[in-house]
Structure 1
Amino acid sequence: MIRTSPPVDGSGLTRAIARARRVAEECILPAAGSSDAIFLALRHWLRESSRVLLLDPTYGEYAHVLERVIGCEVQRFRLSREDGYCVDSARLRSVLLNNYDLVVIVNPNSPTGRHVPRAELGSVLVDSPQATRFWIDETYAEYAGPDESLEAFAAASPNVVVCKSMSKAYALSGVRAAYLCASPQSIAESCGRSLHPGA
């Protein structure tokens, strides 16, 4: 495989991921790395007038794409050292009433390493405004435990997208393999069936 160009169709990868994650193939969208997914999907969904909530601190690429590339209005959900950089779910629920277009949550968070348990975060998502889309970055989810992913939740939800990278837990950074998991409608709204011809 490494002696030829990458395939222009990600159907084989899509099938394999869907089987492994126990979701429908229509709920998986492969990408050439999580940066590919972040740049293309967020640019497709958002405009300069979009309002986005971002954990702070968190993975810096999100602020770069949202503020410098797209030019959205980004508000920070500050995490404090005094609280161990933990996400206060009650405070988050209150802030979410501001009806953002997108909320980005890296879980476990980078660089803090703090994790919001699946059941707790799922409860926050269920109680949140349906018009708000949630982008849950689970690049480090495998380190939190085998049942901590929200992929099945996202596959059945109209407003939750999970972004998964295979570069950390699977040590495949050079392969540039990642994918989105969401409802079929959300996948269709994420630039079609493939974010990148090499995905």
Structure 2
Amino acid sequence: MSTTTGIPDGSLLPPRPRLPVPRPEIAALPLYSRALGLGTTTWVASSNESSVPPSKVVQDAMAASAAGLNRYPSLYGDELVDAIGRRLGLSDEQVTAGAGSLPLLQQLLTAYTGPGTEVVHAWRSYEAYPILIGVAGASSVGVALDSGHRHRLDAMAAAITERTKAVIVCNPNNPTGTTVTHDELLRFLSRVPRDVLVVLDEAYREFSQPERDETSLLPTFPNLVILRTFSKAYGLAGARAGYLTAAPEIIRNLRASAPPFGLSRVAEAGAVAAWAEEELLSATVAAVVAERQFLTRELRIRGLDVPESGGNFVWIAMERAGELEQACVRHRVSVRAFDGDGVRVTIGGRPATQAVLDAVDSYLGAPRGTE
């Protein structure tokens, strides 16, 4: 003990780490994967971005909003929330906006899960789920997909325990592209206890061209939360804007626990303008769906396992995914490989599609022409 300050002599204290140490569950988290060849390839088919930039109307709206960057944005993306609510028939208390659907999911998990709780989700599904669940301090419970690369909703319902606080359904599923039908979702919701959140992640819903909007289920199932984004079909991945719809009680809790001013003025202006361009959205989706059908057919002709996709991407199920990814990079196109499971290819223009097919032919060792 120091005789002058009363502070213990440092030489008597146990040795300390040389750097600050995170929580053990954070230290154990995997990093979000990165595709090969980024920055060196001609075509990027690895991140499920739109290959088409936003319209001039959207760009002009974003540029005009920059004149007010000395001021904070609205607290909860008020103008965007109002526009979304009016079209979907929801009140402002049923919608909240944020910097993409992923931060909104993180807010949700932070508010409703935590140490000692579990979150059930399909696997393989979006690779960020186990990371976000771990950050919240909860345990990730992955339920294997079926042989057709689809959610096994009955098995997911059976995996719910006393510790389960949330279940995530990715529809269409990333990275396999497979979809859950409205009737399947309805049966699943009927089986889930009302004190368990059901998080429906619809980042790619526009490309599945659904006949029904699942927000119609919110009054019947107050534990349902729906996530959507402007990063994919609306072409605003670089702006970061998304929204969440749920019961007013859930929205209030999210707003109470969220950092203020979560959606930038520029992103909100772009999202509001893009939301109004319904005809352009339809044309964009139609072009992606047509190219997706072409690529799916060509890959199946080559004998590959490619499930029907409802996203702006296709999934090639294969164990040696890394080898195909390397072949694609050699043909100047980046894709996303999940070694042991498969390769995800984002839909772009025909030159990018042809580069992928050339890479596949090279990998298979038997070049064939396309129809």
TM-score normalised per structure 2: 0.49
Structure 1 residue aligned with 2:209, among 130, 140, 145?
145
Q: Quick one: structure 1 residues 141 and 155, their matched pair in 2 at CA, closer, same or farther if it must change by over 3 Å? A: farther
Q: CA separation in 2, counterparts of 1:191 and 1:45?
A: 13
Q: Contact 2:189 / 2:221 at 8 angstroms: preserved in 1?
A: no
Match of 1:87 in 2: 151
Q: CA separation in 2, counterparts of 1:196 and 1:171?
A: 25
Let me know the Cα RMSD of the aligned residues: 2.0
1:3-152 mapped onto 2 (5 Å cutoff): 3-5=67-69, 7-9=73-75, 10-67=77-134, 69-80=135-146, 83-96=147-160, 98-99=161-162, 100-152=164-216
Q: CA separation in 1, counterparts of 2:219 and 2:66?
A: 32
Q: Contact 2:126 / 2:174 at 8 angstroms: preserved in 1?
A: yes
Q: CA separation in 2, counterparts of 1:92 and 1:2?
A: 45
Instruction: State the SS of the aligned residue for 1:174.
Output: coil
What amino acid is aligned across from residue 121 of structure 2 in structure 1? L
Structure 1 range deviating more: 184-193 or 135-144: 184-193
Query: What do the CA deviations read for 1:148-187 (whole angstroms, capped 9, x no partner)?
Result: 4422213553211101111101111122110110011111
Q: Contact 2:107 / 2:257 at 8 angstroms: preserved in 1?
A: no
Structure 1 segments, 4+ long, off by >4 Å, are 193-196
Structure 1 range deviating more: 186-195 or 4-13: 186-195
> Runs of 5+ in structure 2 lacking a partner?
1-64, 264-371
What amino acid is aligned across from residue 176 of structure 1 in structure 2? R
Q: Contact 2:106 / 2:136 at 8 angstroms: preserved in 1?
A: no
What amino acid is aligned across from residue 105 of structure 1 in structure 2? V
Q: Contact 2:81 / 2:92 at 8 angstroms: preserved in 1?
A: yes
What amino acid is aligned across from residue 103 of structure 1 in structure 2? V
RCO greater where, 1 or 2, for CA within 8 Å and sep 6 or more?
Answer: 1
Q: CA separation in 2, counterparts of 1:193 and 1:48?
A: 17
Q: CA separation in 2, counterparts of 1:194 and 1:21?
A: 24
For residue 117 of structure 1, report the CA deviation from its aligned partner. Answer: 0.9
Query: What do the CA deviations read for 1:118-174 (whole angstroms, capped 9, x no partner)?
Result: 222122102321121111110011111243442221355321110111110111112
Q: Contact 2:203 / 2:232 at 8 angstroms: preserved in 1?
A: yes
Tell me the percent identity.
27
Structure 1 range deviating more: 138-147 or 154-163: 154-163
For residue 194 of structure 1, report the CA deviation from its aligned partner. Answer: 6.2
Q: CA separation in 2, counterparts of 1:175 and 1:35?
A: 13
Q: Contact 1:157 / 1:182 at 8 angstroms: preserved in 2?
A: no
For residue 22 of structure 1, report the CA deviation from its aligned partner. Answer: 1.8
What amino acid is aligned across from residue 91 of structure 1 in structure 2? A
Aligned residues: 195
What amino acid is aligned across from residue 214 of structure 2 in structure 1? L
For residue 35 of structure 1, report the CA deviation from its aligned partner. Answer: 2.1
Q: Quick one: structure 1 residues 57 and 106, their matched pair in 2 at CA, closer, same or farther if it must change by over 3 Å? A: same
Q: CA separation in 1, counterparts of 2:201 and 2:68?
A: 31
> Runs of 5+ in structure 1 lacking a partner?
none
For residue 41 of structure 1, report the CA deviation from its aligned partner. Answer: 2.2
What amino acid is aligned across from residue 140 of structure 2 in structure 1? V
Q: Contact 2:225 / 2:245 at 8 angstroms: preserved in 1?
A: yes
Instruction: State the SS of the aligned residue for 1:158.
Output: coil
Q: CA separation in 2, counterparts of 1:169 and 1:107?
A: 15
Q: Quick one: structure 1 residues 102 and 193, their matched pair in 2 at CA, closer, same or farther if it must change by over 3 Å? A: closer
TM-score normalised per structure 1: 0.88
Q: Quick one: structure 1 residues 70 and 89, their matched pair in 2 at CA, closer, same or farther if it must change by over 3 Å? A: closer
What amino acid is aligned across from residue 123 of structure 1 in structure 2? R
What amino acid is aligned across from residue 157 of structure 1 in structure 2? F
Match of 2:4 in 1: none
Greater radius of gyration (CA): 2
Q: CA separation in 2, counterparts of 1:184 and 1:32?
A: 20
For residue 196 of structure 1, report the CA deviation from its aligned partner. Answer: 4.4
Q: CA separation in 1, counterparts of 2:181 and 2:226?
A: 15
Q: CA separation in 1, counterparts of 2:219 and 2:261?
A: 23
